[in-house]
Amino acid sequence: MALRMEMGLQQKLELRMTLAPQIIQSIEILQLPLLVLEQRIRQELVENPVLEELEMRQGPAGEVTTTDSDIPPQAQKATDELMHLDKMVRDYPEGARPAVVHGEKDKKHEAMQNTAARAMSLQDFLFNQFNLLDITPEQRLIGENIIYNIDDSGYLQSSIDEIAAASNGARQEDIEAVLKLVQTLDPPGVGARDLRECLLLQLTDADAHPLVKQLIDNHLEDIHMNRFPKIMKETGHSAEQIQEAIHYIRTHLNPRPGNLFGDETPQYIIPDIMVEQNATGEYEVRVEDGQLPQLYISPLYQKMLADQSTPENAKEFIKRKIQGARWLIEAIEQRRGTLRSIAQEIVKIQREFFERGITELRPLKMRTIAESTGVHVSTVSRAIADKYVQTPRGIFPLKYFFTGGTRNFEGTMTSRKSVKQLLLDVISGEDKTNPLSDGGIASKLQGQGIDIARRTVTKYRKALKIPSSRRRKSYLPT
């Protein structure tokens, strides 16, 4: 059978939807939280010469007025240089770096100067101590391999055999000896191979706490499973004595000593929206973007665009930059309006939450907000992403107010977050010596009008990280 290859023309009907650059930018700006948006605007101010920040100054009578930048005498020369820089940025291949022109700052050096120093890691802290020890080069090599294999929680993750292979075949007893040296370093408990060893390393005066040592040696699993009768039988101690020893373990010993160190920078939350109650009792919504730079298009470049003597290539450059500046200003304003309208609808629907708390939180879907505000569901999703709102009841992510529901006996819906809070209330009020089973909790909630099954209670309890009734049981009278 012969195969034939031939060329030909073929018509094909296809429907495509493409987003205009302005719409793409609006979507990107809408998704940005406040701090990231401010960084984006600062970057645009650097990259777009026609974009200016409105500066505020005090007038003669104390009133606040605005001022425009003075027009420099050599405007055409400045424009030529900007066009040259713009061309260099677009023409250079990715990864290449053009030479620094006269008057341009070394941005890499500036970034390094403004970058926060890296926090000291656990390994750094251990090496600083270990290097002060008077040991042989062989011991130092073993110690380095041990420290390199300690995880962020402070536990040794490699076996003695693996450490030996990385240490030129060092003997097991030599590795054990160096490991004991590492385990004397701060923080106490570091270099342990399991929880038992970690806690015992921190129990420096074991003779003063014989029951504590006995519990760590033999009953960690029993403590976790709340098997008090078994512990009492095998140790011969009373429930009060065992409870006291467990309290000492939990308050004086650290199961993850390495967690005292970390490289992560604290994440600060700045709310994008403020909800405040006014004198009449109504809740007012304000988009908190007053700290953002107030932008306008430089009159210098607008005049140059209208000037007949300005070269055509310069005019094209200015037009492109003015268009980008207008799109950015419009996108920021559109973001403000979208956030305000969505937040106002959330406050309107969830008013009972602001009045009485989480038990009054209503089930809410994004589609409901989309229909009431006249935007697409995807717009609502983008608008609430990574945004926070400050309310009289605290700071919440906007996503917090969107939740499914559980039907009650009246046929209406109660939000899942409300049901979980009611579950917490039931458990907090139970008899600790005879805690409620999941079926008992379900009965209690059903008595409050919530139509809920035992398996749903189990699912919610596990999601809230609440132990079972067996593990919640207290063997001491309350």
Residue 462 lies in a domain: yes
Same domain? 242 vs 360: no
Range of the domain at 435: 405-472
Same domain? 244 vs 278: no
Same domain? 195 vs 296: no
* Contact between 478 and 432 (Cβ < 8 Å): yes
Q: 44-62, pLDDT tens digit by residue?
A: 988 888 888 877 544 444 4
Pairing between β-strand 394-397 and β-strand 273-277 as defined by DSSP bridges: unpaired
* Contact between 286 and 274 (Cβ < 8 Å): yes
Same domain? 232 vs 152: yes
The tokens of 195 are what? 């929880």
Distance CA 82, CA 93 (A): 19
Residue 130 lies in a domain: yes
Residue 143 lies in a domain: yes
Same domain? 294 vs 223: no
Distance CA 330, CA 112 (A): 33
What b/e string do you get for 48-65 counting C-beta neighbours within 10 Å, with b at 16 or more?
bbbbbeeeeeeeeeeeee
Same domain? 330 vs 434: no
Residue ending a domain, among 376, 401, 426, is 401
pLDDT beyond 70 at 288: yes
Q: Considering its fold, how many domains does the chain have in total? A: 3
Same domain? 249 vs 347: no
Distance CA 401, CA 362 (A): 8
Same domain? 126 vs 253: yes
Residue 441 lies in a domain: yes
Q: 224-240, pLDDT tens digit by residue?
A: 888 888 999 998 898 88
Task: Please give the DSSP secondary-structure letter assigned to residue 364.
Answer: B
Same domain? 350 vs 392: yes
The CATH number assigned to the domain holding 445 equals 1.10.10.60
Q: 133-143, pLDDT tens digit by residue?
A: 888 989 899 98
Residue 69 lies in a domain: no
Residue ending a domain, among 202, 231, 260, is 260
* Contact between 96 and 144 (Cβ < 8 Å): no
Residue 10's CB is within 10 A of a number of other CB atoms, namely 4
- At residue 103, the pLDDT reads 42
Q: 228-277, pLDDT tens digit by residue?
A: 889 999 988 988 899 899 999 988 899 999 887 765 555 678 899 999 98
Residue 268 has, within 13 A of its CA and on its CB side, a CA count of 4
For 21-84, give the DSSP string: HHHHHHHHHHH--HHHHHHHHHHHHHH-TTEEEPEEEE-TTS-EEEEPPPPPTTHHHHHHHHHH
Band of residue 421 on the pLDDT scale cut at 50, 70, 90: confident
The tokens of 160 are what? 């003695």
Residue 233 lies in a domain: yes
Same domain? 360 vs 460: no
Instruction: Give this prediction's pTM.
Output: 0.61
Same domain? 247 vs 126: yes
Residue 447 lies in a domain: yes
Residue 198 lies in a domain: yes
Same domain? 419 vs 395: no
Q: 143-166, pLDDT tens digit by residue?
A: 889 998 999 889 999 888 888 888
Residue ending a domain, among 260, 291, 316, is 260
